[in-house]
Amino acid sequence: MGLIVQKFGGSSVATTEKLKLVAEHIKKELDLNNQVVVVVSAQGKTTDKLIAEEKEITKNASPREHDVLVATGEQITIAKLSMVLQEQGIKAVSLTGWQIPIITSSNYSNSRIRYVHNETIREYLTAGNVVVVAGFQGIDETGNITTFGRGGSDTTAVALAASLAADRCDIFTDVDGVYSADPRIVEDTRKMNTVSYDEMLELSSMGAKVLHNRCVEIGKKYGVPIYVKSTFEKNSIGTLVTNTSNLEDLVINGVTKDDYISRITIVGLENKIGRTYELFKLLSKHSINVDVIVQSFGEHITKDIAFTVKMNDLNKTLQVLEENKKELNIKDILHCENLSKVSIIGVGIANKPGVAADMFEALYENNINMHMVTTSEIKISVLVNSNEADMAVKAIHNKFFK
Ligand code: ADP
Ligand code: ASP
Ligand code: MG
C-alpha cells in the first residue's frame, strides 16, 4: 500500500461538479489500494473575494485578522469535498491547518512551516479515511492562525508529503504540466516532461505560479517527487519535478513574468559609506522585501538608488521613507507603479555570449521599453510596463524557442 498526497487548486475545486471530478481522482488512487491525503485550495476566486471584502472595511487590516479571514476559504472546500466523498460511500475527514497542527513562524501572510505534527493524519489514514486538508495555513507557537502567501497550498501539499514520507505528491491544476512559458500567454510553448528542482525553483521564484516556490524548496530538501498534472485532462502525464532534468541542451529553460511590481527611486542620497546600508536596513526592519536594486556610480556628492518592491508593499515603503527622509539625507523619493518583471532562466546563460542581446533585441523589435535590468549566472530579468508584459513574454519566447 502506497501513500499519495494530491493537491487540487482553486479552479479544480471551483464548483460542486468539479469537486465530483476531484473525487474521481481520489477514487483512482484508493482503487490502487493507496492511502490518500488531499490538500485543497479555496474554491475559484474565493481568496480574491475575501481580500476585496476586507478592503471594503479597511486598507490597513491587522495582519493577524487578515490571515484569520483568508484562511476561511480553504475551510469551506475541505468540508464540501469530505461531504462529496462521504456521499459516495468513501470514508473522509477534513482537517484545518491548526487541527493537524502545522506549526509555523509568526510572520502573517508569509509564514514558514516549522514542523508538521502528522500523528492525527496518520491515525485517520490507519482508520481508513481519506484525509482532506486545508491548504496554505498553519498555526504559530502562540496559537495564532497563519497563512503561507498566495499560492501556498502547494507548499502544504509537499510539506505533508515530506512529513508522511509519501510516495509522491501530485499537484493537480488547470494546465497539464510545466511549460517553457505560461501557456495562457504564449501559444506554442514547450511542455517539459521532467524538470529539476533547481530549474523549477528558478521558474517559480521568477513568477511561474504553476508551483509555489517554497513547495519546490521542500521537495528538493526531502526528495519528494512532485508531479504537476491536469485535473481536467484524462490521463494527463504531466511534468515530474525531480533531481534530474531531461531537458535538451537549451540555452534557456523558460520565460516568466511577475506582475504587481513598483519601482522606487531615491534621488540624491548622500554619497557616504554606510548610507546605502542604512537605507536597506531600515526597509528590512519594517519587513519590506526589496528585489532588484540599481545604484548610480556615485562619483558625485550624492547618488541615486532605484529598487523594486511588490505593489502591496508600496504604500508602507513610501511611508517609511518619508518618515526617515531627513535622517537619511534624501533629496527626493520618486515611484512608478504597474511594472512587471520578465525573466529568462537557464543554466546555460552564463556560458553563451549574446543571450542578453537576443533578449533585448526581442524587446526592441516590439518597441518595449526596459525600466531596469538585472542579470545573474542563470537568469536575466527586465522591468517593463505591465500592459506590455505579455507581449514581452511572447516576443522573448519566440526569439529563443522558434
Ligand atoms: P492552482 O489554482 O491550481 O494552484 P495556479 O493558477 O496557481 O493554479 O497555477 C496554474 C497556472 O499557472 C496556469 O493556469 C498557468 O496560467 C500558470 N503558469 C505560469 N507559468 C507557467 C508555466 N511555465 N507552466 C505552466 N503554467 C504556468
Ligand atoms: N487560496 C490561496 C490563494 O488563492 C492559496 C492557494 O490557492 O494556494 O492564494
Ligand atoms: Mg497555485
CA 201, CA 51: separation in Å to the nearest integer?
A: 27
Q: Which one of 43, 150, 155, 213 would you pick to mutate in the ligand 2 pocket, going by the greatest count of ligand atoms within 8 A of its CB?
A: 150
Fill in the amino acid letter for 107.
N
* 226-244 core/surface letters (b: 16 or more CB in 10 A; e: else): bbbbbbeeeebebbbbbee
Q: Which helix (H) or strand (E) holds 218?
A: helix 213-222
Residue the block writes with cell 513568477? 207
Is 10 a pocket residue for ligand 1 (Cβ < 6 Å)?
yes
Residue the block writes with cell 534624501? 330
Residue 159, CB-side half-sphere exposure with 13 Å CA sphere: 30
CA angle 384, 214, 294 (to 5 degrees): 35
Atom nearest to 203 CA in ligand 1: 23
CA 294, CA 82: separation in Å to the nearest integer?
A: 51
CA 384, CA 323: separation in Å to the nearest integer?
A: 29
Is 173 a pocket residue for ligand 1 (Cβ < 6 Å)?
yes
In sign, the C-alpha dihedral spanning 266, 267, 273, 278 is: negative
Is 184 a pocket residue for ligand 1 (Cβ < 6 Å)?
yes
Q: Distance from the CA of 56 to the center of ligand 1, in angstroms?
A: 28
Of residues 228, 234, 250, 150, the one with CA closest to residue 183: 228
Is 157 a pocket residue for ligand 1 (Cβ < 6 Å)?
no
Q: What is the dihedral of CA 204, 6, 176, 80, to 10 degrees?
A: -110
Q: Distance from the CA of 47 to the center of ligand 2, in angstroms?
A: 7
Phi, psi of 186 (to 5 degrees): -110, 130
Of residues 241, 206, 248, 212, the one with CA closest to residue 345: 206
Of residues 169, 102, 164, 107, the one with CA closest to residue 134: 102
Cell of 16: 460542486
Name which residue sits closest to atom 8 of ligand 2, judged by CA: 151
CA 139, CA 147: separation in Å to the nearest integer?
A: 8
| Ligand whose nearest atom lies closest to the CA of 43 | 2
Is 178 a pocket residue for ligand 1 (Cβ < 6 Å)?
yes
At residue 402, the pLDDT reads 81
Q: Which helix (H) or strand (E) holds 314?
A: helix 314-323
Q: Distance from the CA of 252 to the center of ligand 2, in angstroms?
A: 29
Residues with CB under 5 A from ligand 3 (ion): 9, 151
Q: Distance from the CA of 328 to the center of ligand 2, in angstroms?
A: 38
Neighbours of 280 (CB within 10 A): 14
CA 261, CA 263: separation in Å to the nearest integer?
A: 7
Structural domains in the chain, CATH included, are 3-247 (3.40.1160.10), 255-401 (3.30.2130.10)
- Strand pairing partners for 298? none
CA angle 26, 31, 32 (to 5 degrees): 100
Is 11 a pocket residue for ligand 1 (Cβ < 6 Å)?
yes
**Distant-in-sequence, close-in-space partners of 35: CB < 8 Å, separation ≥ 6:** 1, 2, 3, 4, 125
Is 47 a pocket residue for ligand 2 (Cβ < 6 Å)?
yes
Q: Distance from the CA of 209 to the center of ligand 1, in angstroms?
A: 5
- 126-135 pLDDT, tens digit per residue, is 999 999 999 9
Q: Distance from the CA of 186 to the center of ligand 1, in angstroms?
A: 13
3-state helix, strand, coil in the chain (%, to 5): 40, 25, 35
Give yes or no for a contact between 195 and 177, defined as CB atoms under 8 angstroms apart: no
At residue 249, the pLDDT reads 65
Cell of 222: 526531502
Is 6 a pocket residue for ligand 1 (Cβ < 6 Å)?
no
Is 179 a pocket residue for ligand 1 (Cβ < 6 Å)?
yes
At residue 248, the pLDDT reads 58
| Ligand whose nearest atom lies closest to the CA of 74 | 2
* pTM across the whole model: 0.93
Low-confidence ranges of the chain (pLDDT < 70): 245-249, 298-299
- 250-276 pLDDT, tens digit per residue, is 778 899 999 999 999 999 888 888 889
Give yes or no for a contact between 240 and 191, defined as CB atoms under 8 angstroms apart: no
Atom nearest to 231 CA in ligand 1: 3
Q: Which helix (H) or strand (E) holds 5?
A: strand 3-8
In sign, the C-alpha dihedral spanning 333, 61, 11, 3 is: positive
